Amino acid sequence: MRLDTSRVIRLVDYKAPDWLIETVHLDATLDDTRTRIVATIQFKPNPKGMGGALVLDGDDLVLESLALDGVQLPTFAYTIDRHTLTLHDTPQRAFTLTIVTLLDPAANSQLMGLYRSSGNYCTQCEAEGFRRITFFLDRPDVMAVYTTRIVAKKEEASVLLGNGNRVEAGDLPNGWHYAVWHDPHPKPSYLFALVVGKLGKVGGSFMTRSGRNVELGIYVESGKENRAGYALDALIRSMKWDEEAFGCEYDLDVFNIVAVSDFNMGAMENKGLNIFNDKYVLASPETATDADYANIEAIIAHEYFHNWTGNRITCRDWFQLCLKEGLTVFRDQEFSADQRSRAVKRIADVRTLRSQQFTEDSGPLAHPVRPFEYREINNFYTPTVYEKGAELIRMLKTLLGADDFRKGMDEYLARCDGTAATIEEFIACFVDTSGRDLTHFARWYEQAGTPLVSVTETFDSESGHYRIHFAQSTKPTPGQPDKQAMVIPLAIAFLNKQGLELKLTPKTGQLDDHVFVLDTESADLVFEHLDEKPVLSALRGFSAPIVLELDTSDDDRLVMLAHDTDPFNRWQAAQGFAMKLLKAASITRREGREMHFDPRFAEAVSHVLNGKDHAFIAQILALPSESDIAREIGDNVDPDAVRDARLGLRRALGHHIGQPLQLLYATLETKESYRPDPQSAGSRSLRNVALDLLAIGMPEIGLRLAEQQYRTADNMTDRFAALAVLAQHRGEAREIALEHFANTFENDPLVLDKWFSLQASIPELETLDRVKRLMAHPGFSMKNPNRLRSLIGAFAAGNPSQFNRADGAGYDFVSEIVIDTDRSNPQVAARILGAFKTWRTLEPDRRALAETALRRIADQDQLSPDVLDIVTRTLA
Ligand code: 0A1
Ligand code: ZN
């Protein structure tokens, strides 16, 4: 295996920059293969730095010329190597460099820096893409004021967009035109952007609370304007919400969003000019599902919220990534919770956290929310930084209370405005405003791994003495063998057997506003004189990102499922019960014995079907996923047994409650035309889960309904849900429907992506061949990240039984694709490779096959730093 000899960047080595940049004038003349960038950059010595030679970052740049204070420099005045330009005899005073670089955007397949997408030009500079545009101090603590002059041929590009406000525009000779954009807010280079091309626009406006009018624009591929309305609506709601919830007001005259079809991630918060993967902008009832609408709302909000948490206050260095990302995810989650059902949003977020972050935290890629070191920063845009980072903010709010949390946020937004900050500075704002000591809490940023809290209850029926013993532990993670105790806020309540909440005051231990803070390795809560053992409803609302080990009896689970006043724990009671059955069934299955499912589960579930919150009931009916079950099992996993167990429980449930499901399915039918609002989306989700369970539990009825729904649906949510049901069942009906769907949407790449994903996730042995066949489909392309993710990504990360096929063919296939994709787009290759992160939890035969495939990747010459880093850590 090759050794990863790339440079390790360490947090402890952080040094303030020796040079600062005051202003940047960037003149971009766009051409397909010869774009000329003239960057005029004013440098000055940093009083906190050491002076010395100026060393600029550069990546894949062709330098045409370099001038210092207007005087051309001879080539011996500087040295250029693979990653830097060093200026010899750097004057130790303020000076200006004029750097002319030539770029080939058409050849840029990495999609970092300036590249082409569907005939347009766009940029992506986070984390280190600006150095692919010009030589620069490409680090977030160097903040400058940017002016961008964009020049392009009119007939090629009618739209010329940059950061900030447009200050000038006009025609030039020979069919060219230009625009000048000025951004008065100092920013790091990663927030630079420009977009040039032929685009359609949907416009709007927003009046800020201080009465400033902001012009809004959503730019999309021409002809798709009718799909941009929801994004605009979500933007306006986000702007209003951020003023109300956090006091954050927008600070430029314009805010533009551009949707592009080639994008490595979800979206990017460039100042005043957000660039989005078009998947998270474009929506119409016929092409987007309710889930797509919800994602659009959340991501529009996320990028907009970065304007304060990320842009006005940015990160000192990339170790502080969670400073902007964790906080901004928390903010977008709160926004969605306020716009929709808070309970359902929380359940959905915890599902994601557990399936993505808990898996990461228990595997070879585990790392702290604020890492200590990295080799490739692109590999740290992870569920740990984002989702666990958001949980840390939520715990901070729980520990401080809403008022002190808001005071701390206000202080942070005022004190750190205009700076590149650290986690320490963020925490200090809360310490200073609340007077609380958060030293121990800050450990959450440094210690990787998911704490396990085991809870043991003892009740003495004679004396009425009730003791709850809490003990926490965290397993070792890479580089951190020994773990310390964390500060864990546990929201707790007690119910009687009828489900009524009891008001209990502990004799020993402290419960503040229903929160018990476990901040030592173990602690007790003791209660006296109780008549019966109460039902313990612990970790309400998922108050901390931990695994709770609590041996709740089946009876108590049923009480909670029926009555808990915390909706999260009602859902958790159902999940917990199902998980217990699924784990047991997986083992039974693996041993070749017949699976059996306790009918009390189905019985209990049938009683919640009549509730009012349809989206919530749909969540109760949705069983833990195959990867959730595998994670719970922990080791020696047989993915086929897990799949069969899950199928088995769905079948038993669908069969047992088939009649009420049929009734529900019929009652929830509506004649109203589609609207993406949360209520009607909730009803659709319930109706579609009912359909899915019916199709497996009572196939003759369910499949007939699915075929009918597929044919008659007037919106993508219902149509695709029906297709997804049909796809799970072998036979002619599914092939006919799949073909019909492909024909109907052959010219709609985002819809075809759903079709690719659906087929890639069918848990059957034939799926791998199907995926290989689909790679030859005219709608597929190895060059487009969305296509790759929807077909290959869905197979690798969303189909555990087939990716982990017993013959290793899934591993061989995915590893080939990783090697191939790495040559053009390392970021996407590294993401796909992430699917191997659970390999050590598998049974020995599969483990050996996965290891062989990983070693084959590691043995390749010329791996990108992205893939080399992931493969090395995965194998370590
Ligand atoms: N800051 C963005 C995420 C992002 C990171 C890197 C990118 O490079 C391809 C793109 C986007 C966010 O949090 O939305
Ligand atoms: Zn973000």
Q: What is the mean pLDDT of each run of 10 residues along the chain (876 residues)?
A: 79 98 99 98 97 97 98 98 97 98 98 98 98 99 99 98 98 98 99 98 98 98 98 99 98 98 98 99 98 98 99 99 99 98 98 98 98 98 99 99 98 99 99 98 98 98 98 98 98 96 97 97 98 98 98 96 97 98 97 96 96 97 98 98 98 98 98 97 98 98 98 98 98 97 98 99 98 98 98 98 98 98 98 98 98 98 97 98
CA 18 – CA 639 distance, rounded (Å): 54
Output the six-digit token pair for 83.
Answer: 């990653």
Strands annotated E in 46-193: 54-57, 62-68, 71-72, 78-80, 84-87, 95-103, 113-117, 120-124, 144-153, 159-162, 165-172, 176-187
Are 487 and 447 contacting, i.e. CB atoms less than 8 angstroms apart?
no
Starting from the CA of residue 300, give the closest ligand: 1
Contact 829, 864 (CB under 8 A): yes
Q: Which ligand has the shortest distance to the CA of 124? A: 1
Residue pair 811/856 in contact by the 8 Å Cβ criterion: no
| Residue identifier of the C-alpha nearest atom 11 of ligand 1 | 268
Interval between CA 123 and ligand 1 midpoint (Å): 12
- Which ligand lies nearest to the CA atom of residue 332 in the structure? 2
Closest atom of ligand 1 to 267 CA is 14
Sequence-distant (≥ 6) Cβ neighbours of residue 348 within 8 angstroms: 619
CA dist., res. 559 & res. 423, Å (int): 42
What distance lies between CA 213 and its chain's CA centroid? 32
Task: Quote the pLDDT of residue 1.
Answer: 64
Using omega within 30 degrees of 0 as the cis cutoff, is the peptide bond preceding 267 cis? no
> With contact defined as beta carbons under 8 Å apart, do 92 and 54 qualify?
no
For residue 367 the two structure tokens come to: 């790392």
Structure tokens at 312: 């006005």
Predicted local distance difference test score (pLDDT) of residue 201: 98
Q: Check: CB of residue 287 under 8 Å from CB of residue 227.
A: yes
Give the Cα separation of 479 and 462 in Å (integer).
Answer: 49
- For residue 299, report the distance from its CA to the centre of ligand 2, in Å: 9
User: What one-character DSSP code corresponds to residue 73?
Assistant: P
* Residue with CA at minimum distance from ligand 1 atom 4: 268
Phi, psi torsion values for 501, nearest 5 degrees: -75, 135
Nearest to 430 by CA among 456, 452, 405: 405
Distance CA 424, CA 426 (A): 5
pLDDT of residue 106: 98
Kind of pairing, strands 267-268 and 213-220? unpaired
Q: CA 230 to CA 280: how far, in whole Å? A: 10
Neighbours of 760 (CB within 10 A): 24
Which ligand approaches the C-alpha of residue 299 most closely?
1
Would you say 676 and 285 are in contact if contact means Cβ atoms under 8 Å apart? Answer: yes
Query: What is the Cα–Cα distance from 284 to 226, expressed in whole angstroms?
Result: 8
Using the atom order of ligand 1, give the atom closest to the CA of residue 328.
13
Looking at residue 6, its pLDDT comes to 76
Q: Whose CA is nearest to atom 1 of ligand 1?
A: 268
Catalytic residues: 303
At residue 461, the pLDDT reads 96
* Candidate of 126, 302, 378 to mutate for ligand 1, largest count of ligand atoms within 8 Å of Cβ: 126
Kindly give the pairing relationship between strand 84-87 and strand 19-29: unpaired
Ligand 1 mutation target, pool 268, 323, 866, most atoms within 8 A of CB? 268
Give me 110's structure tokens. 């990495």
Residue type, 767: T
Distance CA 355, CA 363 (A): 12
Which residue, judged by its Cα, is nearest atom 5 of ligand 1? 126
Ligand 1 atom nearest to 378, measured from its CA: 6
**Ligand 1 centroid from CA 125, angstroms:** 9
Atom of ligand 1 nearest to the CA of 827: 9
Ligand 2 center–CA 869 separation, angstroms: 22
User: Parallel, antiparallel, or unpaired for β 420-421 and 314-315?
Assistant: parallel
Which residues form ligand 1's pocket by a CB distance below 6 Å? 124, 126, 264-269, 302-303, 325, 381
How far does the centroid of ligand 1 lie from the alpha carbon of residue 773, in Å?
32
CA-CA distance, 366 to 371, in Å (whole number)? 10
Whether the full predicted model's pTM is greater than 0.85, yes or no, is yes
